[in-house]
Amino acid sequence: MSSENRIPSDTRLFSFWFAAGLLVALILLAAATVAIPELLSPGHLLSVALEAGVIDSITVTFAAGFVAVLILVFLGTPLAYLLARGKSRWNGLIETVVDLPLALPHTVAGLMIYLLFMMRGPLGMPFFQVGIVFEEAFAGIVAAMVFVSTPYYVDAVREGIAQVPERLEFVARTLGASRFRAVQTITLPMSMRSIISGAFLAWGRAIGEFAAVVMIAYFPMVVSTLIYHRFTTGGLAESRSIAFIMLVACLLVFLIFRLVSHGWGGRHDRT
């Protein structure tokens, strides 16, 4: 009866389903290759999971990722705003600079970070003089993470801000808000979804970084370093257990993100 309201299925889209299915299957298969053997030997998995080294490493990774995102929120949000609103011809150039870490091989990024933040480096030296060391230190991990995840955060937030009509800020100003207050009370709250999703993307990128981190700080070991270390010294089974633990942890974090961001979306359009 209501069949005319339904879109007729089109068999010609079969090739799309096939291509899409292959890609999804590849990701699922890769996850299963790690997950199935681990789930079949829960005793080993548990013993690895409770190792102090593993727990420390996951804590360091998540914490450094969190600090990196915090830095990005404070420094990257203003940058994203300026890029979204700016009309200057320098904008394109600045955007290219911000996106540079996306294009660089991670070892190149790592080398840049190392040279900049090593104790004799142009930034490492003044920080060293006030007692902050980046080499083989938590601060070094954070620096590398900030560097590689900047484009993920800034691009997401910039796009979100660009979707908030500038006219809303104009109206806010005619109602008595200074430019700063207008941004603070109108633009940023309306971009909250992009800010949160940018933060999660950046965090995900940050905790996954290996090459850039390892060049400035092999220790304390982030999870990526630990997995590589165990892979080269202890063997496949050990590294796979850690990989599985990370897989579950990341899955949980992104599920939470989905729930949080779903709550933010479209809420204001309802009565």
Partner 1 sequence: MIELKDLSATIGDFRLDRISLSMAKGEYVVLLGPSGAGKTVLLEIIAGIRVADQGKISINGKNMDGVPPEHRGVALVYQDYSLFSHMTVARNVAYGMSMQKTDPLRIPGLVDELLTEFGISALRDRYPGSLSGGEQQRVALARALATKPSVLLLDEPFASLDPQTRKECIRVLQDLRDTRSVTILQVSHSPEDAYALADRTIVLLGGKITQTGSTDEIFRYPKSEGVAKFVGMENILSGSVIESGSGHSRLEIGIGTVLIPADYPRGSQITIGIPADCITVVSPEMIPDDPMMNIIDCQIRRVTCGRDIIIFELDGPIPLTSAERRSDDREEVIQPGKRVFAVFRSTDVRIFSGD
Is residue 271 involved in binding partner 1 (CB under 8 A)?
Answer: yes
Closest contact distance (angstroms) between CB of 190 and partner 1 is 5
User: What secondary structure letter does DSSP report for 89?
Assistant: T
User: What secondary structure letter does DSSP report for 267?
Assistant: G
Is residue 196 involved in binding partner 1 (CB under 8 A)?
Answer: no
Using CB under 8 A, pick the residue from 133, 177, 237, 253 that binds partner 1.
Answer: 177
| Size, binding site for partner 1 by CB under 8 A | 22
Is residue 165 involved in binding partner 1 (CB under 8 A)?
Answer: yes
Using CB under 8 A, pick the residue from 8, 43, 131, 176 that binds partner 1.
Answer: 176
Tell me the residue type at 34. V
Q: Which of 271, 68, 265 is nearest to 160 (CA)?
A: 265
Is residue 186 involved in binding partner 1 (CB under 8 A)?
Answer: yes
Is residue 167 involved in binding partner 1 (CB under 8 A)?
Answer: yes
Is residue 189 involved in binding partner 1 (CB under 8 A)?
Answer: yes
Tell me the residue type at 216. I
**Is residue 146 a contact partner of residue 72, using CB atoms and an 8 Å limit?**
yes
Is residue 44 involved in binding partner 1 (CB under 8 A)?
Answer: no
Closest contact distance (angstroms) between CB of 176 and partner 1 is 4
Is residue 12 involved in binding partner 1 (CB under 8 A)?
Answer: no
Note the maximum CA span of the chain: 79
Dihedral angle over CA of 157, 162, 165, 167, nearest 10: 100
In order, the DSSP letters of 91-154 are HHHHHHHHHHHHHS-HHHHHHHHHHHHSTTSTTHHHHHHTT---TTSHHHHHHHHHHHHHHHHH
Closest contact distance (angstroms) between CB of 197 and partner 1 is 16
Nearer to partner 1, 82 or 177 (CB): 177
Candidates 37-45, 64-72, 101-109, 164-172 — which segment interacts with partner 1 by CB under 8 A? 164-172
Q: Is 262 exposed, middle or buried (0-12, 13-18, 19+ CB in 10 A)?
A: exposed
Using DSSP, how many helices (H) and how many strands (E) does the chain show?
Answer: 14, 0
State yes or no: cis peptide before 220, omega within 30 of 0: yes
Is residue 181 involved in binding partner 1 (CB under 8 A)?
Answer: yes
Using CB under 8 A, pick the residue from 26, 122, 185, 234 that binds partner 1.
Answer: 185
Using CB under 8 A, pick the residue from 32, 103, 170, 235 that binds partner 1.
Answer: 170
Is residue 168 involved in binding partner 1 (CB under 8 A)?
Answer: yes
Nearer to partner 1, 9 or 271 (CB): 271
How far apart CA 247 and CA 34 sit, in angstroms, is 9
Is residue 270 involved in binding partner 1 (CB under 8 A)?
Answer: yes
CB within 8 Å of 26: residues ≥ 6 apart? none
Closest contact distance (angstroms) between CB of 172 and partner 1 is 7
Closest contact distance (angstroms) between CB of 268 and partner 1 is 5
Contact set with partner 1 (CB under 8 A):
165, 167-168, 170-179, 181, 185-186, 189-190, 268-271
